Structures are given as C-alpha cells and as structure tokens.
Structure 1
C-alpha cells in the first residue's frame, strides 16, 4: 500500500502535469486528464497490512474517532475554477472577434479560440466539482453528527432524521466508507439496512435481537412500552406530559377491550393506523432531539408534531368514548324501563291507597 506521502506527491504531480500541458498548448490532452481527475470514480482503498495485536488495538482506537470533513479543497477548487473560467472566456473573446471581422490567419485565430474555450470549460468543470464537493462534505458532517459514537445505525433512520432520500444516503455512506470516515472496518449491510463500524457491532446487534423476548414487544403491553420508551427519550416537559396522557388513554382502551373482547372490532382503525402513526411521530421527535442538529427542517418538523399532539389526544379520547357507546345505550335503555316501571308502580300504589281512603270515609 502506498504511503500517504507518496499518494500526496502523486496527486501534486498529476496537477502539475495538467498545468504543464495547458501551458505548452496541448490543451486537448490536458482537458481530458483534468475531467478524468475531477469526475473519475473513486477507487476502493487497499486493505492495510497485517499488524501486531498492540498495533491493531492502537489503530482501532484511532479509527473510532471519525475525522471532520475539511472543505478547504472544495473551496480552492471553486476559487481557482472561477479564475480559470474567467481567463478562458476572456481569452476566447478576442480571437472570436477576429474570426468575425478578419479572414486572414483564420487557422491561428481558431486555434487560439479553442484554447481559450478549453480553459473556460476546465474552469467551469473545476467550479462545478468544487460546488459538488462542498455540498457533499456538508452532508458528511451531518451524518457524523447524527451517528455520534454509535457503532451501528439503520440507514433509513439516518435518512429520515436528516430529510434525505434513502438511496442518496446509501451512496453517501458508501463514499464515506471508501474514504475512511468510519474507519477501515466499516461497511453497509444491505440485507439489514444498517451501517456498521465493524463486524463486532453487526454481531452484537444480531445477538441483541435474538436475546430480546418477542413477547416483550407484542400485545397491548408492548405497545404501551414503546410509547413510554419514546417518552423517556423526549426532554420537552410539555410534550412529555401530553404523551403521558396518551399512554393513560391507550391503557384504558386496552383494558376495556380485554374486559369485553367483542369491542376489539371497534378499534381496528385505532390499532392499525392511529397507534402506529402516533408511535412513528414520537420516535421521529425523539430522533430529532437526539440528532443534535438544529436546522430549519428539523425545527419545523418538531413544531408540527407538538401542534398535532392535542388533536391526537382528542382522537384517543373519542375512541375511548366510542367503546362505551353501546354500554351507554344499554344504561339509557335500562333507565327508561326503570322510570316506566316506577311510574306504573307509583300510579298503582296511589290508586290502591286512594280506594282505601274512600272506603274509610264512607
């Protein structure tokens, strides 16, 4: 494997060669080399040679610290690209003017025009590459901030937290892995949809899934446990109090269904839509708080969840009230029957007492 010093020297040599070819007016070759250098596909890095156990432990400790992306290269590309583009455009305007007004030395003027045009294209390519790198490094910094010290994280969760498409997130993470941002052992597990910093993290997650009792996450108790778990991760006291109210109402709904299984059919929409959607919103809010990124998109998403929580509580309360609709009708029917019987018994008693009193008077 080539040392970083040799790689850096090779990089400077390629830039020097491109500049030299432009200066000696071999701009077609220089332009091809420049475009290949700027937009060529990154090659995967070679694996490092085997090391002793002590060296491996020291290297592993260094690799757990993710490097901070530097934007200096991107900015220099944009600055130099803009300057080269301006010089190229200015260099192409003069021979272009001569081509229109003079037929003499047309071959010479055309050559100068194409040389200036090539320099302008090279500058625009460098400017575009610098802009692309700047945007990419900005996303890399956000990925590192959200991932933090975790050894494993779902790609879908990372994409949802930052509001990026999942496919773009996968491509960015693969580029970061190739560039060594997560250390030499990191990889994407496409089957599980996870980013792992090492194989040990992958195995630990698999063991955790096996050891977690399936019953703990199933049934009504599992649903309430998930709501409570999300609430424990949310720091906002007002929202946390509202989630406590949600959990209380949901527990009453489940108790009502357990007491009368016939009511289960009435909470299909509640179980299959309202509860999962509410859980997803709570999990997202907890992830937004844990992300540590106070961007405008995250702030607006959190505010919308907070504003929606009152409507969700009213919906839960309405669902609980609907469960007791038939019971309320039965109570109302019983009361009507009782009132009718009481009126009949009272009238009958009065009639009996009235007849007795009349006989005594006689």
Structure 2
C-alpha cells in the first residue's frame, strides 16, 4: 500500500487512504518550506556580509593610501624645511636661560639666603657664648652649647656663602654666553666680532666659548683650530689637515709673519675687491655710494702706503670699520630680492648708512692730510727763508736766467 501505517503490522485499524495523505502533507509540508526560507535567508546574509567586507576593505585600503601619501608629503616637507640661524639662536638662547642660567640663579638665591640665616644664628650663638654662663643663669654644661652651635653655624655660613658666590658666578657666565649668541649674525662668525658686539675682551670670549663647547653647553658648535672662528653648525666646520713637522731647512725657509702694515694693506685690498663685487647687486643709490667708498678707501690705503708712520691713526679703520661695513653689506646681499616690508627697511637703512660711512671715511682722509699739509707748509717756509738768505729771490727771473 502506498500509504501504510506503522500499526498495520500489529493488526491495528488501517486509516483511510484519503485522510492519510492529507494529514502527512499538512504535517510535513510547512516544515520543509520553513527550512528552505531559513537556508535562503542565511545565504542572503552571508552574501551581504561578504559584500560589506569587500567594500570595507576597499574603503580602508583607500584611506590607508591617502594617509600614507600625507605622511610621506609631511616627511618630505620636513626634510626640505631647514632651520634658520635666527630660529636656532632663539632656541639655544632659551635653553641657556631656562636650563642653565635659571638653575644657577636659584642656587645663588638659596645659598645667600641660607648663608644669611646661619650667619645671624652664628652671631647670636657667639654673642651668648661671649656673655658667659653666669649672667645667663645656666650651668657650664648648658653653656657649652653656645660655642659649639656658634662654630657649626659659622661653618654653615661660609659653606652656603661659597654656594651663593658660585651661583652668581655661573649665572653671569651663562649671561655672557647669551650675549655672545646675540652678537652672532650667521652660522659662521669671527670671535673678534662677537667680542665687539658683547663689549668684551677677545681672549675672554675665546676662552669661555671653548669651555662651553668642551662641556657640551653649546651642542653642535665648533671652534676653529686657531680659535678665531666660531661655527654654530658643526656641518660647516672643516678641520685643517695636520701638517707634518717641518724639517730644519724648511723651518729656515718659512716666511716671516706679516707685519701690521702688510696685514693692513692686504685686508684693505681684499675690501676693495669686495666692494667691486657688490656693485650691481643692490639698487642704484647703493652702487653710487659703493663706487665713492672704493675711491675714498683706496686714497686712505695709498696714503698709509706712502706714510707708514701714520698706521696707528687708521688702526680702528682697518680693524673695526671695514669689517663692520662688510658685515652690513653681507646682510643686505643675503636678503636678495625679497619684497617683505622688513627686507625693504633693512636694505634702505644699510644704503643710508653707506652715505654716512663715506662722509666719515672722507673726513678721516682729510684728517690724515692735515699733518702732511702742515709739514709741507713748514718745508715751503724753510725753503723760502733759505732762498731769501741766499739772495736768490731778489730777482727770480734774472737769478735763474728765466727770460720772457
């Protein structure tokens, strides 16, 4: 039978063939249909999740590429952007002020305050010790406390006084280092120019800079082998190769040190060449002043060459005025064609000082000629006196055979 019942074998009643198929269809059909919908729903969810995963991966990959591009661009821009000397100098000045000078100021204040406190206590203890035990109404054992404390407080006073003195000394030292930094205008600077800017002795500036470099207080700073040039960027410093010791014969052949006159003429000639190289790189007004300055300075150099005994009168001209003039021109040339308002102001001020310098240099040249003029006048007077004494000026034309 197509629709059997499990109780048929046991002799149970056999249900009708019409009702059994309907009952089976009603009981089994909905279950199979529910399982189909669940399988289709699970498949749809899995497909949606896979699509979302793929879209998310694509979006995240794109964002990652954009972030990598931005990071690379920032890194490249950071590599290209180089710190200027003014920025480095400001950061170094702040470092010396905050980490070094401020610390020693605190040390000085604490030292002097404690020295004053212990000093007052020591005076009190020593006064009580001088009074004696009887007037104070105490026993001898109690009286011994005063001299002992007086000696101890005196020792503390001396110790903290030394501490305060060291703090003041170091505070002033770092203050001078900051003044040296303020006097620098570029990565490479001469020690003499820093000394002039700080109104200090050149040897002292050289000694204190060398100590700061050796102690690591000015990281990245180097001094030249001769101690005359400061390199505020270590990459710019190129140490001179060591020269072998000269043989005895070579020592004799070594040229003598140049004299003061030779150094003056050498530096002056170099300055004239520098002025010629500056022409055409600034405005027309500056070029006119540069040509005039070259002419006046050449006249001063020629005068000193003919009158070397007058070298002391132009010593400041050669050691200060010419280097300072060159430094100002270097500043103007370093601005290039910048159109910023501050750049225009600096160029205008430097052009204006050129006129002032030319006036001063011309006055110096006139001052040098005054003494020569007096000497010439004296010689002419003496010559005329001799001529009159010899009777050679009675009739000049006939005496010397001059005919009209």
Greater relative CO (CA pairs within 8 A, separation 6+): 1
Asked which structure has the greater CA Rg, the reply is 2
TM-score, structure 2 length as denominator? 0.45
TM-score, structure 1 length as denominator? 0.49
